[in-house]
């Protein structure tokens, strides 16, 4: 397989793997914001964040260590079995921490069980997704996430029609989907890796778990800092019960879901490639630079779409107004972008195992972001929360960028995408103004449809001119 077809073909397969969960997240935002009360939606959003953070703390580092060691281990079935055992030991404990945090932040005894179950199911799901990623089991992973989508949508819609939809019931429905997908991925992985098995000696258990710990456990404080940094505004809103917090969180959830749709398919492919190149003796900086340019273009186009037509479409779909100010929502959106972009910029430090430095940076910036968000909430309300959370993300992005040797190359790599993004934003705004004048603003759907069609051409041109594709196309599997 040629380098071009190899990369683009794998990337095309990874898109639906992340497209379905991201689309599912967006569907739940619309559906639950429409059918839950404002207070219940805040509880759902905060509880979901607690479960996701704890699940990743309990299993994501195991998954990253699995990816790191996968190519070099001789008995892959044994390594998988022992890694699953490790997740099974840690998962219930981290789930307890998530459930306790949810009670403190949003209250209510029903939060405990729903968050605990959801967190445990997500822990298995996150780890087994990493297993499939390491083995490039893309088609198998797609089957799993398709089953997840069918179960979650079916259960939640059924609950709504039967009048039993609450935030805790919705979270348990999500847990059922994650559990089903995890079982399917485990089945596929066991069948794929069993061919490597030559018997499992008890002495191998200690060696495999030690290998996972030696690489992965250092990721825990770093991962905790990254996740807390991203969720600081969410926790402050849930704890203080700020006015219009449900409107802000619904849009923030939408940004996170859309951001995952844009960034995660690329990350799922780039991360194993960077690890592979590094084991071969070099760090492929062109992959990081190209990824950063891709994100700048993609997020700029996404914000333009949300700004020009997205808010109106959301309001009409849910029957509620987006009362959070646009400027406040822009701050939240920038924070989501910085969180996604930092994952790529920090790759050089990650592959060189500078975990202590990354942990100190992420925890320090998370603490700073939480303090700024809380202080901003007390002084300026919702806009203060958004500003504080964004500043924490910005601080981390800057210090990570300035701590690597290739910072000049990184800065050079973002100039062209930034210029293209600015031009695209201006063109998007101008197109909407022209269409509104030509059509008189009515019917509203004609303006939106016309804008989406015309801006699609601008988007394609922006990706073509703004992204350095050469680094991707040179990549070989």
Mean confidence (pLDDT) of the chain: 82
> What is the structure's pLDDT at 180?
95
> What is the structure's pLDDT at 1?
42
Model pLDDT for residues 40-92, shown as the tens digit of each residue: 888 888 888 889 899 888 888 888 888 877 777 777 777 888 888 888 888 89
Model pLDDT for residues 55-65, shown as the tens digit of each residue: 888 888 888 88
Region of poorest pLDDT, from 2-16, 236-250, 345-359? 2-16
Average pLDDT over residues 270-293: 69
Model pLDDT for residues 123-170, shown as the tens digit of each residue: 999 999 888 887 777 788 888 989 999 999 999 999 888 887 888 888
> What is the structure's pLDDT at 3?
47
User: What does residue 113 show for φ and ψ, rounded to 5 degrees?
Assistant: -65, -45
pLDDT at 2 over 50: no
Model pLDDT for residues 450-476, shown as the tens digit of each residue: 888 989 888 888 888 777 766 555 555
Average pLDDT over residues 341-364: 81
3-state secondary structure 3-68: HHHHHHHHHHHHHHHHHHHHHHHHHHHHHHHHHCCHHHHHHHHHHHHHHHHHHHHHHHHHHHHHHH
- Give just the sign of the alpha carbon dihedral 45, 394, 346, 6: positive
Average pLDDT over residues 219-227: 85
User: What is the domain partition of the chain in residue ranges?
Assistant: 36-217, 219-477
Rounded Cα–Cα distance for residues 198 and 220 (Å): 32
Model pLDDT for residues 308-352, shown as the tens digit of each residue: 888 888 888 888 888 889 999 999 999 999 998 888 888 777 777
C-alpha distances in Å from residue 2, one per residue of 196, 309, 467: 27, 40, 21
Rounded Cα–Cα distance for residues 379 and 383 (Å): 10
Rounded Cα–Cα distance for residues 346 and 397 (Å): 9
Region of poorest pLDDT, from 171-185, 193-207, 378-392, 450-464? 193-207
User: What does residue 406 show for φ and ψ, rounded to 5 degrees?
Assistant: -95, 25
């Amino acid at each position: 397989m040629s380098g071009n077809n190899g990369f683009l073909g794998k990337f095309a397969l990874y898109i639906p793997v992340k497209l379905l969960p991201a689309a599912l997240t967006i569907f739940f935002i619309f559906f639950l914001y429409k059918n839950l009360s404002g207070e219940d939606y805040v509880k759902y959003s905060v509880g979901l964040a607690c479960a996701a953070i704890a699940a990743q703390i309990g299993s994501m580092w195991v998954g990253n260590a699995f990816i790191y060691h996968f190519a070099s281990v001789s008995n892959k079935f044994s390594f998988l079995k022992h890694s699953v055992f490790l997740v099974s030991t840690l998962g219930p404990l981290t789930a307890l921490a998530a459930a306790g945090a949810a009670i403190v932040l949003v209250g209510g005894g029903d939060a405990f069980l729903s968050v605990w179950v959801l967190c445990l199911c997500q822990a298995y799901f996150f780890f087994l997704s990493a297993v499939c990623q390491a083995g490039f089991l893309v088609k198998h992973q797609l089957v799993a996430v398709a089953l997840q989508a069918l179960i979650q949508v079916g259960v939640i819609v059924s609950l709504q029609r039967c009048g039993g939809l609450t935030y805790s019931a919705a979270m348990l429905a999500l847990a059922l989907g994650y559990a089903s997908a995890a079982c399917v991925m485990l089945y596929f992985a066991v069948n794929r890796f069993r061919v490597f098995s030559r018997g499992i000696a008890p002495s191998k258990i200690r060696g495999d778990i030690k290998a996972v710990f030696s690489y992965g456990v250092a990721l825990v404080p770093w991962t905790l800092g990254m996740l807390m940094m991203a969720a600081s505004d969410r926790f402050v809103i849930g704890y203080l019960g700020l006015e219009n917090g449900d409107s802000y969180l619904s849009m923030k959830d939408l940004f996170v879901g859309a951001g995952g749709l844009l960034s995660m398919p690329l990350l799922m492919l780039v991360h194993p490639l960077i690890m592979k190149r590094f084991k071969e003796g070099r760090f492929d900086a062109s992959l990081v630079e190209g990824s950063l340019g891709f994100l700048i273009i993609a997020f700029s186009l996404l914000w333009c779409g949300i700004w020009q037509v997205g808010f109106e479409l959301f309001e009409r779909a849910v029957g509620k107004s987006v009362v959070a100010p646009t400027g406040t929502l822009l701050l939240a959106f920038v924070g989501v972008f910085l969180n996604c972009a930092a994952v790529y910029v920090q790759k050089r430090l990650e592959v060189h195992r500078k975990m202590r430095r990354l942990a100190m940076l992420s925890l320090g910036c998370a603490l700073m972001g939480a303090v700024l968000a809380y202080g901003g909430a007390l002084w300026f309300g919702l806009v203060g929360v958004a500003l504080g959370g964004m500043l924490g993300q910005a601080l981390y992005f800057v210090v990570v960028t300035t701590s690597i040797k290739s910072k000049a190359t990184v800065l050079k790599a973002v100039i062209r995408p930034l210029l293209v993004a600015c031009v695209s934003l201006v063109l998007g705004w101008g197109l909407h103004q022209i269409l509104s004048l030509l059509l008189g603003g009515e019917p509203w759907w004609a303006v939106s449809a016309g804008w989406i069609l015309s801006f699609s051409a601008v988007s394609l041109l922006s990706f073509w001119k703004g992204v350095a594709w050469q680094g991707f196309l040179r990549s070989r599997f």
